[in-house]
Structures are given as structure tokens and as C-alpha cells.
A and B are shown apart, each in its own frame.
Chain A
Amino acid sequence: MSNATKTPATGTALLEVKDLVVHFPIGQGQFIRPVDRVSFSIGPGEVLSLVGESGSGKSTIGKALVRMIEPAGGSIIVGGRDVTHIRGREIKEYRKEAQMVFQDPFGSLNPTRSIEQHLAFPVRKYRANKGVSVSEQIDELLTKVGLTPVAETRRKFPHELSGGQRQRVAIARALAVNPKFIVADEPISMLDVSIRAGVLKLMNDLRNDLNLAFLYITHDLASARYIGNRIMVLYGGKVMETAPSAELIKAPTHPYTRLLLTATPGTRHRGPLPETSNSAPNLLEGRKGCPFANRCPLVTDVCRNEEPPLRELSSGHAVACHHPA
């Protein structure tokens, strides 16, 4: 396997994922693999955008990274420490480094707790900043995410906030433990268009100011490109293509990436959509060939029988395809 997805030469990787496998039992001794031998790394202050359709395994990767689920194979190394199979207290410790922001800002906050309570809990529990009072830390967090005036916001309950404001609270809560990286799972897809830009910009600022790394999970290529240093395209639990963001948009080589780009509204170089079936990929363990084979316009026999390895085309640009463009 090539190490095409290594970080730019800025320093050592903060997070190294190697051959990550997640599987779920579906009865009769069979398993599906929503994540199948995925490797990547993220450097400090870097944003990796993970793009794919529903069922591609992108959220499962995010959950495995913060260890909400335990991988069946491969390894996750964070800051030199192997967290692949940690348990109990160790996971709690690990949450100081890795946090998650969820898609639904309506479901992720407790309706009976004020914003202050939401933030006081992680601040007290993890004591990330000793010597600063809890109250001061809450003020600081709310200022950081732009929820001012602070005194007013603190007293409010989730139902008094708009979706965008709630998502900012969720981000503030994630920041409360001073994490090194955040998994943001479709953080803007439930927000209104005029609000999305603000949340994206906030994430961008946090990356720059706190040197925070993000795994940004999305199905929207435009925002993936805006925020991500690199984009990784996922299909059927496998990495199809990965490249620096601008390059992936400008020179996509995998048929699936090209299909995604053609389908995205607002693109100037639009061609007709190639005739493909819309059937879902086979996720069964032990499948053969390329997961995209049954939808690919360029499919040949080799695609159905042999899984294409992820090959590096140029520095940082890798593709898993037998017939890349």
C-alpha cells in the first residue's frame, strides 16, 4: 500500500489511521464492512474532508476515530498513542484529545439544560485549564465561537437558539476540553444557507487560531473544498480517490469522483450524467472487485474480480481504479 495520504511536509502526523476496518454482524455469521481497510493521516491544524454518499462509511469512520465504536481491524494512532482498542477510563482520557460535533444541533443538546450547564459539565469534568475559574472558561468558550453577548447566551436554553447558534454551542462544548482534533459530521447540512457560511468560517478560524485539526465529513463537495486541505472520496467503505482539495476538483481521475462532480449543481463544466444504475454497493465481507463496479460507466472484467489498489499518481494524489482518467 502506498502512503499517498501522508501529510504535507509541515510536521509529523497528529493522527494516523492504517487499514481501518469496521464491521457489523448481520446474522448467520455474516458481516458487512462499512469501512474496509481505510488509511489516512491528519497533521496538526489540518482539515481532511471526507466526501461520500449515504452508506459510504464516512460517519462510521468518524465514530471509530473518536472511539464511539471499536474497529475490527487496523490501527488508529493519535499523538503516538495507539487508541484502536482502548477501553473504559482510557477512552475517557482520549476524549480530551478527540471530540465530535454532530449533524443535528437539535438532537445533540439537552433541552432541559441551559447553555451554561452544557459547557460547565465538560469544563469541570476534564479540568482542561486549571487555574481559570469555570465561569471564566465558559465566557471564553462562548466568545471563541461568536455567541456574544456572553451573559445573555449563558442563561438561554437550546430552544431559544437558532440552528446555527446551537451548532456553535456544540462546537464550544467540543472545545471545552482543549482537544487536538474534532470530527465534524455534516455540521452544516441541517442549517440554513445564510448561516452555513458563518459556521464554516468559524471552523476555519479555529483551525488557524488553535491549530486544531478537523475531519470534516460531508456529502457536499463545495464545502469540502472550501474547508479541507485535502479531500478523500469514499465509496462503499473504500477510499476511491484522495488529493489536495483544489487538485481533486480540477483534475479528478476516478470515475466516481467525476460522477459526483458532474452531479453537483452549480458546476460550470457540466456534462450529461452518464447512464449508471443507482444500485447500492455490496458491503458484504469477502466481496470481490471494486465496490463501484456495478455503477461505473468504464467497468471491465478486471473491475469485477480484482480490487484496485490505491496508487499514487502524483505527490498526494492517489486513486484506486483500474481505469483512471
Chain B
Amino acid sequence: MADNKPVLEIEDLSVAYVTGSGLVHAVNDVNLKVYPNEIVGLIGESGSGKSTMAYTIMRLLKGDAVVTKGRVKILGQDVYQLSKKELRQFRWSKMAMVFQSAMSALNPVMTVETQILDALLSHRKDMTKEQARARARELMELVRIDPKHLKSYPHELSGGMRQRVVIAIAIALNPALVIMDEPTTALDVVVQRSILDEIRKIQQEVGFAILFVSHDFSLVAELASRVAIMYAGRIIEVTPSDLLHLQEKHHPYTEGLLKAIPELTAEDVTIQGIGGYPPDLQDLPSGCAFHPRCPYATDICRRVRPEKLAVGDKLIECHLFSEKELVSHV
């Protein structure tokens, strides 16, 4: 396998929603690559553009959202150059998605088996029904559900089992990339943990790349090898996940998020929120979008948008780091 050829390449991507009162800039100038068999975390708060990103990659944006700039390539193929028919074949066999709400992702009036067969047979014209049935059993075993539940309807399964079924359907056609949009948010911690363990195991067994979208820092840090952090539609930092702690220097927003999470096992628990509130995407602040909330903001932050800088193994979009090279460390 050519390991250095990315599965997913996002180049200068901007997405906006057209509304009655103007454009809402949900994703701005995003660049991101995901390599084969890699798990990349995409972290952001509500309104940061992380879900819009996920939908853009899948080319699932609804009518009022437009890609204003840039490209999305999967296995070298520009997703937006495909015809409708090609896209239908491409989607799910090359890229798949696991949605947050398993209950609404599954059809309540179809059995689990019908839904898995549906995904298989509509993409693999050469597959016989028997082969598809066998594959469905195999998939159920892979996500550790008793194959007897193939005959079950979604409402007969627990939340965790439903999410496993959704994962089974996502990997049914051996896609190169699976986007997971908060797949465990609605689940209890123990179930969440067991599903994450399983995702990791299946990913190693089967081999595919994952873009894991979440708002939960500690969870993503455990699962992903690299983490991209979004704020106001921009990726403001990309960092190896093992550097995601306060002993390392980070973007002030990342630092703020890290300080905002109470640590479970620390001796002394102190937390500190980030002041202010997320920005209005219709009227983004000038310069760096984070400057109104940033404790280190200076004049230049208000005027000029910072460039991405390589800081060790991290990529950070902040003036603090360009200055730090001139001024001695604080």
C-alpha cells in the first residue's frame, strides 16, 4: 500500500450557507489531509463548521449550502467533478459516514438485514443475494452483534447496538474513508467506551481511514493519532494527539479548551472557561476570529489574519507563534 498517498485531501475549502440575511461562512480556507489507515480527529464546538465539513466531504450538503472555494479529493478523485450517477456509486463504496443519531440513520420499518443488504446490493451489481446475506452475517460478527439480530427491527435494539449496526453498514463495502460524526455522543460512557474500542479494533483489522468528528477532547485524543481543531470555520491547529496537553504550547483556543475540562484524576481540580461566546458566522471578527475571546490578543490580531505556522510537529494559526520567534519566550 502506498502509504504516503492521502485518502482524503481537502484544499482551500470554503463553504457558506445562503440565508435571507446574507452568507453564513461555515467553513473557511480549510486544508486537511488524511492518510490510509489513519484516524484523524476533528474537534470543534457547535457552529465551528465541523459537521458542515463532514457533509461537504460526502457531498451531502443541502440546497442552501454552497462550496464557494476549494476542492475535496478522495483517493485522488475530486468528489465534486463526479456526475450524479458516478457519485452514487462512489459514495459508500469509497467513502461512508456514520451519523450521530443511529435511530434516525436506520429505517424503522426495515429489518437490520434488509438495510445491510440494501447497501450491499445497490452498489455491488455482481453480488448475489446469498453472498450479500453471508456478508451481512460477517459484518454483524465484526461489530460483535449476534447475527440473530439480523431479523430485528431497529427499535428492538439498544442504542449501542443500533450504532454498531450503523457502523456495520458504513464499512459494508470496504470504503477507504469513514467519516464518523459524533457517533457515540448519545450513548452512556460504558457503551461509548466499548464502541470506541471496537471501532479501533475493526479499523486495524479491516484497514480504512477515519475522520472522527467530535466535540469531546479527551475522547478524540485517545482514539486519533492527529487532531485538527476548528474555530469559526477555520482549522486553527493540527496537532499529534499525544501532544494535546498543557505542557505543550498550543493555539490559545486549544489551550482554553484544555483548561476548561475538569481533569478526573488530578490532585487539585481547577477549571477555567473561555470568556465570551462563539462568534457570529455572518459577521466574523476582523483579523483572527478568536481575538475577541483571546487572553493574549494584541493589536495585530485585530487587524491581520494569522498564517499557519509549523511549531514543532504542530501546525498553528496564531500570531503569538510568529512573534515568539522574535521575542524571547514568556
State the A residues within 8 Å of B (CB).
Answer: 53-54, 162-165, 192-198, 200-201, 219-223, 225-226, 249-250, 259-269, 272-273, 276, 278-280
**Binary contact track B189-225/A, C-beta < 8 Å → 1, others 0:** 1111110010000000000000000011111011000
Interface size on B, residues (CB 8 A): 36
Question: Which of B190, B263, B277 makes the CB contact (< 8 A) with A162?
Answer: B277
CA distance A162 to B281 in the complex (A): 13
Are B261 and A193 touching (Cβ within 8 A)? yes
Question: Which of A163, A197, A278 makes the CB contact (< 8 A) with B260?
Answer: A197
User: Which residue on chain A has the smallest CB distance to residue B46?
Assistant: A192
Chain A residues contacting B273 (CB-CB under 8 Å) are 194-198, 201
Are B190 and A273 touching (Cβ within 8 A)? yes
A176–chain B nearest beta-carbon distance, Å: 24
User: Which residue on chain B has the smallest CB distance to residue A195?
Assistant: B273
Q: Which of B18-58 contact A (CB under 8 A)?
A: 45-46
Are B262 and A222 touching (Cβ within 8 A)? yes
B153–chain A nearest beta-carbon distance, Å: 18
**Binary contact track B111-149/A, C-beta < 8 Å → 1, others 0:** 000000000000000000000000000000000000000
User: Which residue on chain B has the smallest CB distance to residue A221?
Assistant: B264
Pull 12 A–B residue pairs with CB atoms less than 8 Å apart, ordered by A: A53-B190, A162-B278, A193-B217, A200-B271, A219-B189, A220-B189, A222-B263, A265-B218, A266-B217, A266-B261, A272-B197, A278-B194
Interface centre among A164, A193, A201, A272, by most chain B C-beta atoms within 10 angstroms, is: A193
CA distance A162 to B309 in the complex (A): 32
Tell me whether A192 and B215 are in contact in the complex, defined as CB-CB below 8 angstroms, given that A162-B277, A219-B188, A273-B193 are known contacts.
Answer: yes
B109 within 8 A of A: no
Are A278 and B190 touching (Cβ within 8 A)? yes
B272 within 8 A of A: yes
A152–chain B nearest beta-carbon distance, Å: 14
Are B217 and A225 touching (Cβ within 8 A)? no
Tell me whether A263 and B192 are in contact in the complex, defined as CB-CB below 8 angstroms, given that A164-B277, A165-B277, A196-B273 are known contacts.
Answer: yes
Main secondary structure of the interface of A (DSSP, over half): helix
Are B45 and A278 touching (Cβ within 8 A)? no
Are B271 and A278 touching (Cβ within 8 A)? no
Chain A residues contacting B218 (CB-CB under 8 Å) are 265-266
Chain A residues contacting B259 (CB-CB under 8 Å) are 197
CA distance A264 to B192 in the complex (A): 9
CA distance A201 to B193 in the complex (A): 28
Chain B residues contacting A163 (CB-CB under 8 Å) are 46
Question: Which of B190, B221, B256, B269 makes the CB contact (< 8 A) with A266?
Answer: B221
CA distance A54 to B186 in the complex (A): 10
Tell me whether A263 and B261 are in contact in the complex, defined as CB-CB below 8 angstroms, given that A162-B277, A194-B273, A197-B273 are known contacts.
Answer: no
A36–chain B nearest beta-carbon distance, Å: 19
Chain B residues contacting A226 (CB-CB under 8 Å) are 262, 269, 271
B265 within 8 A of A: yes
B274 within 8 A of A: yes
Tell me whether A278 and B158 are in contact in the complex, defined as CB-CB below 8 angstroms, given that A192-B278, A226-B262, A263-B190 are known contacts.
Answer: yes
Chain B residues contacting A268 (CB-CB under 8 Å) are 265
Question: Which of B45, B264, B269 makes the CB contact (< 8 A) with A192?
Answer: B45
User: Which residue on chain B has the smallest CB distance to residue A227?
Assistant: B262
B257 within 8 A of A: yes
Chain A residues contacting B262 (CB-CB under 8 Å) are 197, 200, 222-223, 225-226
